[in-house]
Structure 1
Amino acid sequence: MLQELSIRHFAIIDSLALSFERGLTVLTGETGAGKSIIIDALQLLTGGRGSGEFVRHGEKKAEIEGMFTIHSEHPCAHVCREFGIDVDEETIILRREISAAGKSVCRVNGKMVTLSILREIGARLMDIHGQHEHQELMNAGSHIRLLDDFGGSAVLGARAQYGEVYERYAHLQAEIRRLSENDQHLAHRLDLIQFQLNEIEKAALVPGEEEKLEAERQQLANFEKLYGALSEAYNALSGEGRALDWLGVGVNGLESAAEIHEEYKALHESAANSFYVLEDTVRDVSSLLDTLEFNPERLNEIQSRLNEISQLKRKYGSTIGEILQYGESIAGEIDQLTHRDTHVNRLQKELAEVEVLVQKEGEKLSSLRREAAMKLEEAIHRELKELYMEKTVFKVHVLNESGQFKRDGMDQVEFYMTTNPGEPLKPLVKIASGGEMSRVMLAMKTIFSRHQGITSIIFDEVDTGVSGRVAQAIGEKIYKIAIHSQVMCISHLPQVAAMADTHLYIQKNLEGERTSTSVTPLDEEEKAAEIGRMISGVEMTDLTKKHAKELLALSAKLKQSAV
């Protein structure tokens, strides 16, 4: 759920901090007070398109930040981990900044992300439904997933099994297509990779070779400096009156002291050990000086070999290991292309076997979907009846296209309905009436909200075009959705406002010469006064207050019975 929302310098909002609770939160206020601006901010926070026009006049940037709480197995947590975003204590913080120049910066739990990643995460946290937005319920392409989600573990499990077999089927098809391309193209490909393989094999690369050559090149290229340094060290350490000679004198002195008293024995041993170590070092330096010689021909050989390796790295991989790995892969491809008829026959035989499995798993998935479709139709009809649309017919079309394998099965799924008896069923997107659309969407959302795992659902004036008993039914329906999901609703209907667990009043204020929006949580008395205003308009009478309190009392009973 959305716990905290912070908005700064956004449109007419200067600074706003809101805390949200579970259940149903209703936002009301006069037209133009800024209710929809808060929804705009939430849309941007979850990946909506933004521009510099959203930044409050005179400010450099707008800032929107929201804190969400989720459970550890929420789909959003898995998506975050896929993108390397830490999810600690089951909390996700989204942040969006938009500059006056239109530049956008997005962060999730402090990590900067692209807008597409923010949108992917935001879609799993919040579902925003506007008065004219169809969202995924009105998108035929998403109906198959909604049906699968409704079908639960049985359908989702069958879909996963089908997906595993389908991936193998699709891979085999791609391999056969690749090996069945026109002869001229394949001949060109074979010539190219044969040349590449010959070049790699001729180079006779050895893992670790480049590092050894580089070390040897470094030594030869700095021969004079190295020889001078070793000579200087040797001369300083060895010879009469040099470091090793004086250290020997010191060892002899400490040895004499140790013979007098055991207290100096440890000092003598330490000095003697240092003498022997330094003596070994002097011998090693002398040996290196005897063997060290400058070989310009070897330096040229090394440089030439390193250049050859560098050329191969530019073509086939960033390391010798990657080059050799690429060589192995094209060697296998050469074998396939050279004996492609044999390989195609083998792949076609394997494809025929896998096709039987795909068909079997697809039919199983399709059967489960048809069962789920019937249950979904019954559930939607129950919900529509409660919204006084008992004559509406809702139908889930599951068209099985046997042998037409797709990633999500062999089915095409689309929701159809008709709101008028005697009229033919039409796709859901063809429903014209705004009031009918609102009720259909609420009926479907009541069903699907239990299966989608969305943290928060927002309804932006979806109750437009309805009144009376239908308005009351919509209020009850929205409340039922809020039992399973956090719901925020902008409404002008008193029947909806009366069902609120939390009521926020939004108003526009004039401070000096600037306009700003403020949000005030209402207590019970204030809530009754606001509902009274929604019933009567500007003038508030005793009768209006009485009606408002009666509506609140009725709503309290309805809420109690709905739980």
Structure 2
Amino acid sequence: MLCQLSINNFAIVRFLELDFKAGMTSITGETGAGKSIAIDALGLCLGNRADANTVRPGASKTEVSARFTLHDVPLAKRWLEDSDLDAEDECILRRTINSDGRSRAYINGNPVPVTQLKAIGQLLIGIHGQHAHHAMLKSEHQLNLLDHYANHKLLLDSVSASYQRCKQVENELKYLEQAQHERISRQQLLQYQVEELNEFNLGLEEFDEIEQEHKRLANGTDLIERCQAGLHLLTESDEGNIESLLNKVAAIADTLQGYDESLAPISSMISDALIQVQESASEIESYLSSLELDPEHFAYLEKRLSTAMQLARKHHVSADKLAVHHQELMSELAELAGDETKLDEIRQQLETNKNNYLTNAQKLSQSRSRYAKELDKLVTQSIHDLNMPKGKFTIQINHNPDNISVNGCDSIEFMVTTNPGQPLQPISKVASGGELSRIGLGIQVITAKKVATPTLIFDEVDVGISGPTASVVGRMLRSLGESTQVLCVTHLPQVAGNGHQHMFVNKFNKGGNTETTMQTLDKDQRVNELARLLGGDVITENTLANARELLQ
């Protein structure tokens, strides 16, 4: 629960340090005194938006801190542990706002993003404002109230998760279907190109082989003539071929070696040279014997080479890359063919996900129906207590499987009748302002009892209520305060008198500056404040007596 709130230089507050207790705390004050100032300041600690106007004029910054005990708040303790912000059984939220509008947030002394203040704040405090009754006229807010009461978070999470899966697959399917026309056009082009290249059927290494063989045959006559000329010089020339000349040199080297052994290596090298010449001549003879000038084969090669180069130009690749390009086109065609299969798979996947979603949505709808009946009885009894003895409240749930949303397939309508003989109609068409306030307050109190939030704030939710009804409201809030800390900003003495404790907000001028203070009242001060609420500025013995009666 909230134990302490410290406020420095916030709006017209110079400094306040407030200690809060368990039970119901009534907060009252004169009109314009700023009864909601503490709640507005607390909102900063809960992550509400802040700007430079928050800072008290003349001050450099605003600072607000709130201290909570966590003895009975396991969810908040677990959240702090998971976020490495644990401080045993206590949590301190702090917010500073500079005069230039920049703000900083802290949890247990650790700097954090404002979003983390919001996250932990939802586990510590629930705020019910005076405009909640008007929000209740909207169908989505009515649905939130029912879900809040039912507290079926796991069902909501299941529906939300299955909805997100459906949307993800649906988007993927939509993308593939939109691209299908382009894919079909591309597929037809690839089919033609692949068939053309299949017909030509060029092997991966074939172009280089064709090119080399074509080059050899194109220069066949020159090859023969030059090979024959080389063979003539090596072994066949009568005027002196290399082989005969080397034989003569070898003979001379042998003679010289006989005179000087140091010339032996020369003789060996000449012998090696002679062997090389003879082997070269043999290789040339073998090559010449295998060389055939086949005009038909040459024409075949020339045609295939020409076709390869034409296709390469057509496909904007070099001829030596044509075979690789052919393989790439076949792979792309196969992938496109697989896209149609993928489309069928995704359609089936979407159908499966939708069925899962509808199953989860149906379970959620059944839970809503069960808790709606329970809430119908409680709210009807509440409005009877709030001076509408013939009133009746019911929640109408319409389940439409075609109405798919992240919150399920239900739309709901709060139906009410406030007078005998009138049929149930939507609350927006039937209830007057005062009736709406009473119904809304009853729903807020009932739903507040169902959640584990340790502190509840009711900020002037009793607007439009008076007389005996106000006494009932006060007793309802006090009863709620028996199990939950309740802070109630009110202008009604019947409500304020039901508080376990009472705080008074006062505004005054000091040195030309306006300041607001807030103090806890003792019993005599409470009697005087209730008397002021009952009778205005003039306090009489009768109003004092009435005030004492309210406190009893």
TM-score tier by shorter-chain length is: 0.5 to 0.7
Q: Which secondary structure does the structure 2 equivalent of 1:519 belong to?
A: strand
Query: 1 CA distance for matches of 2:63 and 2:365?
Result: 47
- Counterpart of 2:462 in structure 1: which amino acid? D
Are the equivalent residues in 2 in contact too, given 1:12–1:515 (CA < 8 A)? yes
- Deviation, 1:491, is 1.7
- Deviation, 1:80, is 5.3
Tell me whether 1:544 sits opposite 2:536 in the alignment.
no
- Deviation, 1:15, is 0.6
Tell me whether 1:479 sits opposite 2:478 in the alignment.
yes
Query: 2 CA distance for matches of 1:121 and 1:34?
Result: 26
* Match of residue 104 from structure 2: 105
Tell me whether 1:175 sits opposite 2:172 in the alignment.
yes
Query: 2 CA distance for matches of 1:4 and 1:108?
Result: 15
Tell me whether 1:66 sits opposite 2:66 in the alignment.
yes
- Deviation, 1:79, is 5.5
Relative distance call for 1:156 and 1:479 in structure 2 (3 A) is same
Tell me the TM-score normalised to structure 1 length: 0.65
Query: 2 CA distance for matches of 1:23 and 1:129?
Result: 17
What is the total number of aligned residue pairs between the two structures? Answer: 409
Q: Which secondary structure does the structure 2 equivalent of 1:451 belong to?
A: coil
Tell me whether 1:439 sits opposite 2:441 in the alignment.
no
Query: Which moved further from structure 2: 441-450 or 31-40?
Result: 31-40
Are the equivalent residues in 1 in contact too, given 2:132–2:440 (CA < 8 A)? no
* Match of residue 6 from structure 2: 6
* Match of residue 450 from structure 1: 449
* Match of residue 495 from structure 2: 496
Are the equivalent residues in 2 in contact too, given 1:446–1:480 (CA < 8 A)? no
Are the equivalent residues in 1 in contact too, given 2:139–2:411 (CA < 8 A)? no
Query: 2 CA distance for matches of 1:172 and 1:359?
Result: 16
The structure number with the bigger radius of gyration is: 2
Query: Which moved further from structure 2: 59-68 or 445-454?
Result: 445-454
Query: 2 CA distance for matches of 1:337 and 1:463?
Result: 67
- Counterpart of 1:27 in structure 2: which amino acid? I
Q: Trace 1:391-430 onto structure 2 (pairs within 5 A).
A: 391-420=390-419, 427-428=426-427
Relative distance call for 1:14 and 1:336 in structure 2 (3 A) is farther
Are the equivalent residues in 1 in contact too, given 2:133–2:441 (CA < 8 A)? no
Write out per-residue CA displacement over residues 153-174 of structure 1, whole angstroms, 9 at most, x where no aligned residue: xx55544555555555444434
* Match of residue 344 from structure 2: 345
Relative distance call for 1:114 and 1:392 in structure 2 (3 A) is farther
Q: CA RMSD in A?
A: 3.3
- Counterpart of 2:172 in structure 1: which amino acid? E
* Match of residue 55 from structure 2: 55
* Match of residue 17 from structure 1: 17
Relative distance call for 1:163 and 1:337 in structure 2 (3 A) is farther
Relative distance call for 1:40 and 1:162 in structure 2 (3 A) is closer
Are the equivalent residues in 2 in contact too, given 1:162–1:361 (CA < 8 A)? yes
Are the equivalent residues in 1 in contact too, given 2:73–2:454 (CA < 8 A)? no
Write out per-residue CA displacement over residues 343-362 of structure 1, whole angstroms, 9 at most, x where no aligned residue: 22223334434444433333
Write out per-residue CA displacement over residues 66-122 of structure 1, whole angstroms, 9 at most, x where no aligned residue: 11233576555566567x351322433222222222222222333333444433443
Consecutive unaligned residues in structure 1, runs of 5 or more: 191-332, 554-563
Q: Which secondary structure does the structure 2 equivalent of 1:549 belong to?
A: helix
Tell me whether 1:375 sits opposite 2:385 in the alignment.
no
* Match of residue 462 from structure 2: 463
Are the equivalent residues in 1 in contact too, given 2:65–2:92 (CA < 8 A)? yes
- Deviation, 1:188, is 12
Tell me whether 1:27 sits opposite 2:24 in the alignment.
no
- Counterpart of 1:551 in structure 2: which amino acid? L
* Match of residue 268 from structure 2: none
Query: Which moved further from structure 2: 377-386 or 340-349?
Result: 340-349
- Counterpart of 1:22 in structure 2: which amino acid? A
Are the equivalent residues in 2 in contact too, given 1:442–1:478 (CA < 8 A)? no
Q: Which secondary structure does the structure 1 equivalent of 2:463 belong to?
A: coil
Relative distance call for 1:358 and 1:54 in structure 2 (3 A) is closer
Query: 1 CA distance for matches of 2:395 and 2:333?
Result: 50
Percent identity between matched residues is 34
Are the equivalent residues in 1 in contact too, given 2:133–2:437 (CA < 8 A)? no
Query: 2 CA distance for matches of 1:380 and 1:466?
Result: 17
Q: Which secondary structure does the structure 1 equivalent of 2:543 belong to?
A: helix
Tell me whether 1:146 sits opposite 2:145 in the alignment.
yes
Are the equivalent residues in 2 in contact too, given 1:23–1:501 (CA < 8 A)? yes
Are the equivalent residues in 2 in contact too, given 1:442–1:477 (CA < 8 A)? no
